Amino acid sequence: MKFEMSPGACKVIKEQGDPCFSGVVNAKGESRLLHHLKTLLNAQGYDLIKKRMWRDGHLVDDMQQYLRVRKPSGDPMKDVYIYNSMWAIRGADEDFRTDGSVTLRVECDVFNP
């Protein structure tokens, strides 16, 4: 698995030998995909955790998960929030399996002083 970060988007591209991410109960497939992406990004110098969005006060489905910065560092390039903007339509794992890639939404921490 590899990824390409651009302003507002993170494209995750499937490579040969990647595990199969699947499962709709408790969003298992998307959760596993986000976990693998978190591991890759943290190896590149990010400090991200995977968390359910509603626990942080976002008004979304209680199963939707995202990657967020553990503690804001002040670097807007590293203080990012990554989530599936198509959550209500389909899981990110479905696009990843069928198309070989998925594009996730990236928000930067613009309010961090």
The predicted-structure confidence for 17-51, as pLDDT tens digits, reads as follows 888 888 878 788 899 999 999 999 999 989 999 99
Dist. CA 21–CA 65, nearest whole Å: 15
**Considering the entire predicted model, what is its pTM?**
0.86
Is the pLDDT at 58 greater than 50, yes or no?
yes
Q: What is the mean pLDDT of residues 73-92?
A: 86
Angle between helices 92-99 and 28-43 (to 10 degrees): 80
Q: What is the mean pLDDT of residues 70-89?
A: 86
Q: Is residue 95 part of a domain?
A: yes
Q: Is residue 113 part of a domain?
A: no
Dist. CA 73–CA 46, nearest whole Å: 10
pLDDT band at 113 (very low <50, low <70, confident <90, very high): very low
The domain of 7 spans 2-108
Q: Which two tokens stand for residue 69?
A: 């910065």
Please give the tally of structural domains in the chain: 1
Q: Which residue has tokens 């560092």?
A: 73
